[in-house]
Amino acid sequence: MVWQSLEANDVSTGRILATAGVALGVGLAWATMHMIGARVASDIPELARVTVGGRAILFAFVLSVCLAAIAGALPAWRGANADPTGMLRGSRTSNADREGSLNTMVIAEVALSLVLVIGASLVLKAFMRLLDRDPGFDPTPVLTLKTSIAPLTYADGGATTRFLEPALSAIAQIPGVDAVGAISHLPFREWGASTNAPYEGRTRDLPATQRPSVEIRFVTPGYFAVTRQHLIEGRLLDERDAAADAPAVVVANEALARRDFPGEDAVGKRFYTRDSTLATIIGVVSTIRNAGPIEEPRPEFYYPYQPGDGGGFRPASVFNVMVRVRRGDPQSITSAVTAAFRSIDPRCAVSRVMPMRAVMAESVRQQRFFLWLIVIFAVVAVILAISGLHGVLSYAVAQRTRELGIRTALGSTALRTIGLVAKRGVTLIAAGVGFGLAGGFAVTRLLQSTLYGVDPLDGPTWTVATAVMATLALLATIVPSLRAAGVDPIAAMRAE
């Protein structure tokens, strides 16, 4: 009967706490998912449709009740097997068992929190290092935008000569504009069209799958003035190369020259195009990370825009334009650029007006989102660990009120009392940190593929993460320690 009564009481209390926790958790989950969905709907549309449905709530409730029942069964079992006589005499055995279980939980919480803090710190450092990678050009004073025209207005195929070229000339006359150009696929936002390079006398006879892959982008001559890519050899594209009767020419990036022509001059090399004519490489420029900071730069060909062509693989009614300003915020010329386009075609649409820096940030928004999720999980884990440590020490102080009162009555100083309580906290912290470091050594190895050049055992990161975790945990011992030092001996004796 004693076992059944104790078990029923403990399990019932656990169920009440579990139910309250589930209710609060469901509310927080709903608010969090609503906030996340609204914030990242444009980048991760799938998350905008994720909701906290009935199945999720039912699963969480059942799981919480089961865990509460399991958690309540152990102390109930211990209580049922305790010596009634010893309990009536004030035996501390049951308290010691309970404190031992709490100590184990706190050590586990500190250890797991430290593992998460170390992992989050390493991922954050790797992400910041990615953002610091040289993009291959100066994006700060560059404005990007997309303009669209009605295809039927230029049914004769003269969109490039009748709309794009006059618009670019008008934009170049805007005060403060340093350079303007168009590109078929905007860097850091759109993939270039991929093809194989059947080089003359080298790879033409190879199967298509064995030929070197190349990204293709179509640009106007002013594009290189916007990006200011370094000319390594040869020359850049100019107006002559866009003529209908001009020979087929391209400018290659340095990544292609190094891969396909190591130790050779790439200028003058020829390859077969889609219509089996030969195109010649006339220049090599420095490489831009067109695929974003995470991907390695890809070999590329820059083709000239052709009259009546929207950039090879895209419609002749959509154009990506990049404008470099001499100084200041590039968005300050947005109105003037829009007016320049509409002076050529009043019905054209101008959209996605963004500084190049914003385009680059947008290219890693998903990675940034998942990074902050990891950071949030680490912060929550730290809060739980600190709360658990604070709770265990507060419980210990409450259970030892009489003892602490007697010590104070016998002349123990407040400093000694604080040290007595803090010593237990330090012991728990040290044990948790020790297990956390061991767990971190194993777990961070699994993150190696996502750390982008950061050593999983990076010394400064581990040191800072451990110091932060230990400091926060030590702060959690202050309140219980001060409370112990303030115990009134007389009140403590009467309380028992």
State pLDDT tens for residues 428-451. Answer: 888 889 998 998 888 888 777 777
> Which pair of tokens denotes residue 151?
């295809």
pLDDT tier at 80, thresholds 50, 70, 90 = low
Of 291, 314, 347, the position where a domain reaches its end is: 347
Q: Are residues 194 and 311 in the same domain?
A: yes
User: How far is 128 from 233, CA to CA, in rounded Å?
Assistant: 33
Q: Which pLDDT score, from 0 to 100, does residue 275 have? A: 67
Assess whether 462 and 343 both reside in one domain. no
* Same domain assignment for residues 76 and 100: no
Report the candidate in 200, 183, 194, 185 with the shortest Cα–Cα distance to residue 279: 200
Q: Which of 22-26, 149-153, 373-377, 425-429 has the highest mean pLDDT?
A: 425-429
* Residues in contact with 428: Cβ distance below 8 Å, sequence separation at least 6, in sequence order: 103, 106, 107, 110, 389, 392
> Is residue 353 in some structural domain?
no
pLDDT tens digits along 467-484: 988 888 888 887 777 776
Please give the pLDDT value at position 495.
53
247 and 179, same structural domain? yes
CA distance 314 to 320: 11
User: How many domains does the structure of the chain reveal?
Assistant: 3
| 240 and 274 part of one domain | yes
Query: Does residue 448 sit within a domain?
Result: yes
51 with 109, same domain: the answer is no
Window from 51-55, 248-252, 438-442, 471-475 with minimum mean pLDDT: 51-55
pLDDT value of residue 1: 42
Measured CA distances, 493 to 89, 93, 490 (Å): 16, 21, 5
CA angle 165, 170, 176 (to 5 degrees): 125
> Is 417 within the bounds of a domain?
yes
User: Tell me, what's the pLDDT at 219?
Assistant: 92
Pair 269, 183 in one domain:
yes
Residue 141 forms part of a structural domain:
no
Question: Distance from CA of residue 210 to its chain's centroid?
Answer: 35
Same domain, residue pair 266 and 312: yes
Classify 318 as helix, strand or coil: strand
Of 294, 312, 347, which one is at a domain's C-terminal end? 347
Q: Is pLDDT at 223 greater than 90 in this prediction?
A: yes
The residue whose two tokens read 């991907």 is 295
- Same domain for 456 and 316? no
Band of pLDDT at residue 39, cut at 50, 70 and 90: low
Q: How much is the pLDDT for 172?
A: 94
- Identify the three-state secondary structure at position 297: coil
Measure the CA angle with vertex 40, ends 332 and 193; round to 5°.
Answer: 75
What percent of the chain is predicted at pLDDT more than 90? 24
Q: Does 200 share its domain with 324?
A: yes
Q: How many residues does the chain have?
A: 496
Q: Is 203 helix (H, G, I), strand (E, B) or coil?
A: coil
Q: Is residue 289 part of a domain?
A: yes
More confident residue, 312 or 249: 249
- Residue 284 domain-assigned (yes or no): yes
Indicate the helix (H) or strand (E) that contains 470.
helix 459-475
| CA–CA gap between residue 413 and residue 487 (Å, rounded) | 11
Closest CA relative to residue 133, chosen from 280, 243, 283, 291? 291
Last residue of one domain, picked from the residues 347, 376, 392: 347
Using a cut of 0.95, tell me whether the model's pTM lies above it: no
Two structure tokens written together for 440:
């971190």
Q: For the chain, give the mean pLDDT.
A: 79
201 lies in the same domain as 317:
yes
Q: State whether the Cα torsion 367-369-375-378 is positive or negative.
A: negative
Domain membership of residue 437 (yes or no) is yes
Q: Tell me the pLDDT band of 93, cut-offs 50, 70 and 90.
A: low
- Structural domain boundaries enclosing 58: 1-81
CB 193 within 8 A of CB 185: yes
**Dihedral, 243, 249, 254, 258 alpha carbons, nearest 10:** 180
336 with 374, same domain: the answer is no
The answer to the question of residue 225 being in a domain is: yes
Q: What is the rounded CA–CA span in Å between residue 82 and residue 150?
A: 86
Comparing 39 with 241, the larger pLDDT belongs to 241
Kindly state the DSSP code that residue 164 receives in the 8-state scheme: I
H or E, element range at 183: strand 177-183
Beta bridge partner(s), residue 145: 321
Q: What is the pLDDT of residue 3?
A: 42
Token output for 291: 């695929």
- Report the interhelical angle of 414-446 vs 93-131 (nearest 10°): 50
